Amino acid sequence: MSYFVTGATGFIGRHLVSNLLKRKGTVHVLVRKSSQKKLTQMIERMGWDARRIHPVVGDLAKPKLGLTAAQVRSLSGKVQHFFHLAAIYDLTADAESQQVANIQGTRHAIELATAIKAGCFHHTSSIAAAGMYPGVFREDMFDEAEGLQDPYFRTKHDSEGLVRTECTVPWRIYRPAIVLGHSKTGEIDKIDGPYYFFTLIKKMRETLPQWMPTLGIEGGRINMVPVDYVADAMDHIAHKKGLDGHCFHLVDPEPSRVGEALNTFCRAGHAPEMTLRIDTRMFAFVPGAVRMAIANLPPVKRMTNMLLRDLHIPAQMLSFINYPTRFDARETERALKGTKIAVPRLDDYAWRLWDYWERNLDPALFIDRSLKGKVKDKVVLITGASSGIGQAAAIKVAEAGAKTIIVARGEEELFKTRDQIIAAGGKCWAYTADLAEIASCDALIATVLKEHGAVDILVNNAGRSIRRSIALSYDRFHDFERTMQLNYFGSLRLIMGFLPKMTDRRRGHIINISSIGVLAHSPRFSAYVASKAALDAFSRCAQAEFSGKNIAFTTINMPLVRTPMIAPTKMYESVPTISAEEAADLIVEAIIERPSRIATRLGIFAGVLNAVMPKAYEVVMNTAFELFPDSAAAKGEAGSKEPAAPSNEQIAFASLMRGVHW
C-alpha cells in the first residue's frame, strides 16, 4: 500500500504520517525544494523510518502541485490513499494567501490525484466550512452554510466545494474542530483557538489569588479536540471500506461553552476562575446599530486594540465568542464504533496543554528582554550621571551598546565617568550643565540636538533632597524653590526640549526618577516629595497625550538608595537601603519593559492604604515623625556633637518600612 500526503510536516500531518507508518507501505511526502531540510529534521525528531518516507519536490501553488511528467508517471496507479492536508490554518492570515493555499492548493491537489489515478482523495476541511450557521450542522450539509464573510471560513468552504464538484476519484472529507495539542504530551506548534486567551489567564494568575472569584463571559459552545484524536480518527476512517463520498465531523460530541472551557484552563494554570459569567446575548435588546456605533468610537477602539495587543488576542477572535453552530457527528460515531478512538475530556488533559504552552509558546518567552536589544546604537541621555544611580545606569547602558550622553554639574567626576565608559569600550559623551538654571538647560538641549540629532531615551535622574520638618522651614522658603527648580522645572525643561524630535520620529521614552516618598508621603520630606510629585503628575498627563505617538513615560518611585545625596543624614547609615547598582537595575527594567510606573510593593501598599484609610495612615506617619528626629544639619547645628546611635525602635521601624525615607 502506498500513500501521498501534502502538509506532512504540519501539525495534523505529522501525527497522521506517524499513524500511516504503523501500517505497511511507503509514504510519499510533498515538500518544497526549500523545505527539504525541515523534512529531514522532522523525520529525525518524530523517529520515522526514513526508508519508507519518499520526499516529492513540488509546490502547492502550481498545477498538479508542480510535479513533472516523469514524477506523475512514476506515481501513476501506485497511490491508494491521497491525503490533502496542506493549507493555511490561521485566522489572522490575509485573504490572498488563504485563497492561494486553501483553494488553488486544493484544486492542484485534485488535479494530481486524478493524474496519478489515486484510489481515494482524503480532503482535510474544517468545521469552519459551516461558517456561522445558527443551529446544528450535520455531516451531510454543505450548501446550507452561512456567515462566510471571514476569509478563512470562505476559503475552507470553497475548497471543500471543489472536492465535491471537481474531484473524479473517490473522496472522503474530514472536518476537524479547533485542534488542540496532543492529549498525552500537550505538544502543539502554534497558538490558536483558546490558546489566545492563555496570556489573559496568566496575567490573572499573576495579579489575583486563586481563590478570588472573577467576572467572565459565558459565550457560545466552542468545539475543540486534541490532535491525536484527529489523526487517529482520520487514519481509521480512511482505511474503512464503504465510506467514499461521505463527510466526517471530527468534533467533541459534548462541547463546552467558552466560559466553561476558559475555567478549565484557569484551573490548569492555577488562576482564579471566572465565577460570574455574563451571557452577552442579554444585551441583544440594544439595537445592533447602536452597539456598532459605540464599538467604533475612537476611544473605545483604541482601548480595545490596546488590550487585544497586550494580551496577544487577534481581533477576529471576538466574533467567535458567541459561536452559534453545533455539530452532529453521527457518521463519525458509526465509523469509529467498536474502536477505542474517542475524544478525551478536556479536564483530563488541559494541564498538559497549559504546561506545554507555558514552557514553549508563551509570547513572553520571545520578547527581547536584553538591554542591548533596546538601546544598541540609540541615544540615551542620563542626568546626574557623575555618581550614584546615574553613573551606575550610564555604565550599564553603555555596556549594552548605547550612545550614552551623561550630564552633571561638576566636571571632574563627570569626566572620570566618561573616561571609564570609553576605556571599557563604550560610546560616551559628557556635558556639564546646571539643570537648576533654565538657560543652562536650553544650552544643553541645543548642543545635544545639534551634535546627536535626537534623544531616544531621556533619564531624568538629577535631583536634590532636603530632609527638614515644616516647623523648621518657616523661614526657609528657598528650600521649596530649590527643590522645585531642579527636581521639577529642570527635568520638565529637558522633556519639553527633546519631545518635539521624539514626536516627529514617533518614538521615544522618558524615564523620571521619582521617590517612594510620593506614594508614602514621608514626613520631613515635604519640599522634596512635592517637587517629585509635581513631575509624577506631569508624566501621567503627558503619557495620555503621547501614548498614540509611541512615546512612553515611566515613573520610578525609587526606594531609599545609598548615594551621596543622603550622606548628610547620618541615621541612614543604620537603616536598610539599596545600592546604586540595584537602583540602576530598575532603570534597566524601565527601558526594557516601558511600564507606566515601577514601584516597590511597600510603596504601592502605602499609596493604597492612604487612599482607603487616610486617618489610620496618618497615625502611622505621625508615629514615624515622632520616632525619627530632625538631623543636626536640618536644625542648623552642623559641626556639633556626634549624633546619637539609632534606637532599637528606630531600627525596627525602618526595617519594617524598608526603603521609605524617614
Task: Tell me the catalytic residues.
Answer: 528
What single string gives the DSSP state of each residue in 145-177?
-B---SHHHHHHHHHHHHHHHH--S-EEEEEE-
Q: What angle do CA 274, 277, 282 make, to 5 degrees?
A: 165
- CB under 8 Å to 143, separation ≥6 — which residues? none
Helix (H) or strand (E) holding 225: strand 224-226
Q: Give SS3 for 557.
A: strand
- Contact yes or no for 267/51 (Cβ under 8 A): no
Do strands 379-383 and 403-408 pair parallel, antiparallel, or not at all (unpaired)?
parallel
- The residue count of the chain comes to 662
Radius of gyration of the chain (CA): 33
What single string gives the DSSP state of each residue in 117-141?
T-SEEEEE--GGGGBT-SEEE-TT-
CA distance between the termini of the chain: 83
CA distance 157 to 261: 26
CA 620, distance to chain mean position in Å, is 39
Q: How far is CA 318 from CA 89, 280, 322, in A?
A: 18, 12, 8
Sheet hosting strand 597-599, strand order edge to edge: 427-432, 403-408, 379-383, 457-460, 508-515, 551-558, 597-599
CA distance 29 to 43: 11
**What backbone torsions phi and psi does residue 403 show, to the nearest 5 degrees?**
-85, 95
Return the residue matching grid coordinates 482535510.
124
